[in-house]
Amino acid sequence: MRSVRPRRRGFIDLRRITIGDYMVLVAGLLTVVSLFLPWFVSSVPRTHGEWAFTYSEAASVVVIVFFLATVFLVLYPAVAAELGLSPLPFSTPIVYMTLGAVLLLLFVYELGKYACFQCQGVSRGFGIWLALISAVIYLIGAVIRWGARPTRQGQAVRDYAG
Report how far residue 151's alpha carbon sits from residue 154's, in angstroms, rounded to the nearest whole number.
5
Residue 96 — pLDDT band, cuts 50, 70, 90? Answer: very high
Contact by Cβ (8 Å): 107, 128: yes
pTM of the model: 0.77
**Region 20-35 average pLDDT:** 92
Report how far residue 14's alpha carbon sits from residue 77's, in angstroms, rounded to the nearest whole number.
9
Report how far residue 68's alpha carbon sits from residue 61's, in angstroms, rounded to the nearest whole number.
11
Q: Which of 40-54, 71-85, 96-110, 131-145 has the lowest mean pLDDT?
A: 40-54
